[in-house]
Structure formats: structure tokens, C-alpha cells
Amino acid sequence: MWLLALTAMVCAFYLPQLLRGTVQFDGVDVHYTSQRYFSDALRSGHLPFWTPYVFAGFPFLADLQVGAWYPLNWPFFLAGITPASISGELLLHSLIACGGAYALAIRLIGRPAAGVAAAIFYGLSGWFAAHSQHVGMSEAAAWLPWLVLFVDVLADGLSLARLALAGLLGAALALPGHFQVALYALSSVSLWALLEAAMCRSLQHARRAAIGLATTVSWGSCVAAVMLLPALELVDQSVRRDFNARDVDLGYFHPESLLTLVQPDHYGLISGRYSGPGDITQHYFYAGILLPPLVALGIRNTLVVRTAVLLGLPFVWYAAGPAAGLFRFVVRLPGFSSVELPMHGWFLPALGLALVGGAGFAIVEQRLPRAWVAVLVAILFLDVFTVNELLNPLAFARRGFDELYGAALRSFQLQVANANEPVERVNGPPLSVIGYRNHALQSYVETTYGYNPLELASYADYAAAAESNQRLLDGLTATHRLQPDLTLR
């Protein structure tokens, strides 16, 4: 009954954006545009290894952000991508996140109602609401509770079936196409398993967990190789190749952000007067007004608290930035030097807080009649539904897709159709927007610009030089120029 109730609440949570909202920001600029292009190509009978429509040509299928090889995206691709498809993907992965938190809480706490509370605190938390535009991030983070649960199960005993499932779980973390979230999840769970075994003084526990994690990474990488190998080649030839996390002074942990756990509008996000640290998506943690007091109660459960601390505290230390010390060491490790905005990893402490909050709920539950337990769960849900979905402007755009983007796209298409000379390729400023970025993937007009952190470095250098040396423009073979007023000349 509790699991059915949780499913119903998650579905209800996403109804507003499915019925009267749409995607926004990177949700449309990155994920909708690429998924729609891939879906349309797939439905017409070919794989789009290359696209001529952005950056004067780009290795489209090598871009891991497309999520082309992620099996849970395939039904959406085959049905045809619409703006509602992105919301559907978020709903599906919210069910996965909540289901995983529920299952993990059942293992650690043992009470279904407390499991539902932990699921609400994690899967419907402020991190997921603030990052709803970052579809790959949300999809990868949804698997974190399942990873923790499965490693804990593997530590109890190994079998070929369990190890095979571990590999599939590793692939599920990788294939959504967000390297940073997968890196944080695997490294943090590995550290948790190591420290947990040390605290339990169990060499057997450590050995099994190590084998399980090694299988998760190695077998998962093999399953995901169809995406990973081209992506690694693209990264090596992209502008990302020269990125160094030490050079970015943004996206670190600010202790003041913890106040959003009790006052969601502390930085003015809800009211539209944001005054917090840079990047508005990084510092919103609200998961319900009852979470902090329930966490205070839940600290009596030492097993849950230990899990939460080992998962979350090392990350917070790292995310505090160079001044805290750990960041300077971690950034030297493979993979970490190429990721920015450490607070993308707040989903790790968020799961820990959710579990401790669930433990606190279990204490309250034992003192309440069954009917009042159901009422309390309903209050938890209505709270996060109201604040994180209805009031949070980052959750979804409150106007329709056509109203926000359609008019500009139609105007551009009309210009192309009525141009005196055939429009073969359009040159324009970097990050040009016609309705949304990467519009050319739906306009089917070749352009010299685009929006992707994996833009080929050699092309980026040439395009930048052409901006200051007009003689190089001929090399871009553009027939028209996009003007500041979005007209073609």
C-alpha cells in the first residue's frame, strides 16, 4: 500500500508541468533539441553519427549528453520526442529515485512509512527541482540509492547474478550522459563502502564490496562502451580538453545555503529576487519543513547516521573548495580535474539527510495511530509539492512551449523559405538564440554556431579568429549572416 501511495504521489508531483508547463533553459537548449533530432532521425530510419546543422558540422552521436544509448530513453525516442517527453523522463527517474530511497530505507530502517518519507525527502527534494533542466544529471542521480543498496547487499554475499546486475547498474549510471554525477556517485559510494568496512572491522565485507564496485565500474563500462569510447575521443578533441577545475571560482559549498533547508526563499529564488551565490541551481536544498526536526530525531539511529555521514561529509569537505584543503588533493585524481561546479554533487548529502529524516519519521510513527501516520506523509508530500514544484521557478516553465519558442522558430523558417538566395549555411554570433539555442537541429538549416561544451577545439579556434579577421569568414562557407535583430542578410 505504501509503495502504491508513493507512486501516486510522484505522478501527482509532475502533473502541473505535464499538463500546463514545459521545459526551459538547458532542458530545451541541450536535451530537447538533441533528443528531438535523434528521435526524428531514428524514426526516419538512420543513425545521425554526424550533423551539419551546428558548428558547421559536429559528431552528434559522440556527444554523451544526447543519451542516445540509454535504454530508458528509447521508448521516448521511438514514440517521438515532444516537450512533454522531457517531463516524462523526469517523472520516470523520480520514480526510480524515490523507489531506490524507499528500498534503501527499508533495509536500514525497516518501516515502510519511514521509507516513503525518506523517498519524498530525496526524490522530490530541492536538488532535483533545481536541476530539472539538467536531465542527464537527474537521470544519473536517480540511481544513487540503488547503488548504495546494491553495494550493501553485495557486501553480504557475492553471486554471478548479483555481479551481473552490478554491471548493469554501472551502465545505468553512465549512459544518461552526465560524467560528473556518475563520477561523484561511484567515488563517494566506494569511499563509503571502504570506511563502513573499516568501522565494522570486517575484511570480508571490504573484499566483497571491492569486488562488487570493481564489477560495477568494469562491466558497466563495457556495457556503456558504445557511448563512452566515442565520447572520450570527442572530449579529447573538444574545448573541454584544456579545462582545469582549479581555474573556476564558482559552484562551491556555502554554509549559508543550508538555510534553504528551512527557508526555501532564503536567497530569493521563490520570490524572483535571487541574491545568492553564482549559478542559481547550485544552492537550493529544500526537502520539506519537517526534514530538519526529523533529522534531529533520526540521529539516534547510528547505522543510518553513519551511512549519511560517510556518504555526505567527505563530499561537503571537497565541495567547500580549495580553501578547505581536500579539493586541492581530489582535483589531482583522474576525472576530477575536468569537472566544474562541485555543488552538482549535493545529491549525495541529500540522500543522507533523507535517510536520517526517514529514521526520525520512524520514531514519530511508533507514537502515532496509523491514520495519523498517513496524514503526516500527506503533509510531507503537499509541502514539497507546493514549494518545489508549484512555487520553484526552476522546476518548469509556466508557459507553453509554442508561446515561449514557437513564434521565433516560425519567423526564422519563413525567412529561410522567402530568401532571395537559397540559405545554405547561416553564420551568426556564438550562442545565437532563435527561440532556443541549437534551434538548427529542428530548423534543419546549417549554422556556424551552436551550444555545447564539447565544441571541437580546432573549429572553435577558427571561428574565434574569423570574428576578428573577416577574410577567414569565407572558410565557413556561409551564404547568410544572422543579424542582431534575428533577420538574415
For residues 194 and 189, what is the distance between their CA atoms, to the nearest angstrom? 9
| Cα dist from 246 to 193, 276, 320, 346, 453, whole Å | 28, 22, 13, 19, 17
pLDDT band at 247 (very low <50, low <70, confident <90, very high): confident
What lies within 8 Å, CB to CB, of 412 at 6+ separation is 434, 435, 439, 443, 445, 486
Of the listed ranges 44-58, 242-256, 302-316, the least confidently predicted one is: 242-256
Name the pLDDT band for 360 (thresholds 50, 70, 90).
very high
- Residue extents of the structural domains in the chain: 90-391
CA distances from 13 to 8, 9, 20, 381, 480 (A): 9, 6, 13, 9, 46
Residues facing residue 22 across a β-bridge: 397
pLDDT value of position 388: 98
* Mean pLDDT (whole number) for 342-355: 98
pLDDT band for 211, please (50, 70, 90 cuts): very high
The pTM score is: 0.96
* H or E stretch covering 481: strand 480-481
Judge whether residue 1 has pLDDT over 90. Answer: no
> What pLDDT was estimated at residue 73?
98
Res 474 pLDDT > 90 = no
Q: Burial of 262 by CB count in 10 Å (0-12 exposed, 13-18 middle, 19+ buried)?
A: middle
Does an H or E element contain 447, and which? strand 446-447
How far the first Cα of the chain sits from its last, in Å, is 63
Torsion of CA 319, 322, 326, 332, to 10 degrees: 100
Q: For 44-93, give the DSSP string.
A: TT---S-BSSSTTSB-GGG-GGG-TT-GGGHHHHHH---HHHHHHHHHHH
Residue 426 phi/psi, 5-degree rounding, is: -110, 130
- pLDDT score recorded for residue 468: 85
**Per-residue pLDDT tens digits for 103-136:** 999 999 999 999 999 999 999 999 999 999 999 9
